[in-house]
Structure 1
Amino acid sequence: MPAEIKPPLNPTLEEFGARVRARRIELGLSQEAAAERIGLHWTYLGQVERGQRSTRIENLVRLADGLDTTPGKLLDGLPVAANSE
């Protein structure tokens, strides 16, 4: 039986993940190659790209460095997630 596909946690993480994926593809890297270059596990990178995981600041800096970009380019103009209150 196939595993249930998890949706993105929120629009902010969905867009952030799309930016990470787009930059990885722009560099011609597979998830595995990018994860090795970034210094993160490929499953973690996949979850970030699908918007299923929020990343810590330390990992944001690693992602940007490994993808030859800046944290600002990955973050600027992201939609603000609605409060769950």
Structure 2
Amino acid sequence: MEDKTMHGIGRRIQKCREDAKMTQEQLAEKVGISWNYLGAIERETKTPKLETLIKIVNALGVSADDVLLDVIDVGLKARCTKLEERIRNLPEKEQKKVLRIIDVLIEEAEK
């Protein structure tokens, strides 16, 4: 991917694919592309057309936000929301640990 604004999409597609326990071959077949092309998208050496990106997102059963978090301006808000959801799903003891760590990181960043 030559356009820097697209960096991160391939990595996110790969993560979503792995989370879905799919191989490149399985996803490529569902989308109707070659696994070589999917591999190039994941390595970020090729940029998918919008139509292909939509097919990938639908085949993975994820939201576009999951794939575009790193490239859209509101991505940070969406990422914060996803992190909040993940923290909420932890047991209370683990939630407190994570929140203490985040507090320390924020305090350091504000110095």
Larger-gyration structure (1/2) = 2
Which of 16, 28, 52 in structure 1 is aligned with 2:9?
A: 16
Q: Look up the SS of the partner of 1:53 in the other structure.
A: coil
What is the CA RMSD across the aligned residues, in angstroms? 2.0
Structure number with higher helix proportion: 2
Contact residue 11 and residue 79 of structure 1 kept, 8 A: no
The structure 2 residue matched to 1:29, chosen from 11, 22, 40, is 22
Aligned partners of 2:14 and 2:42 also within 8 Å: yes
Contact 1:13 1:48 in 2 (8 A): no
Kindly state the Cα deviation for residue 41 of structure 1 after the two structures are TM-superposed: 1.1
Q: Is the 8 A contact 1:38 1:67 kept in 2?
A: no
For residues 43-58 of structure 1, what are the structure 2 equivalents within 5 Å? 43-58=36-51
- Structure 2 match to 1:64: 57
Give the distance between the partners of 1:15 and 1:35, measured in 2 at CA: 19
1:78 deviates by 1.9
**What is the TM-score with the length of structure 2 in the denominator?**
0.57
Q: How many residues align?
A: 73
CA, structure 1 residues 14+50, in 2 after alignment: closer, same or farther (shift >3 Å)?
A: farther
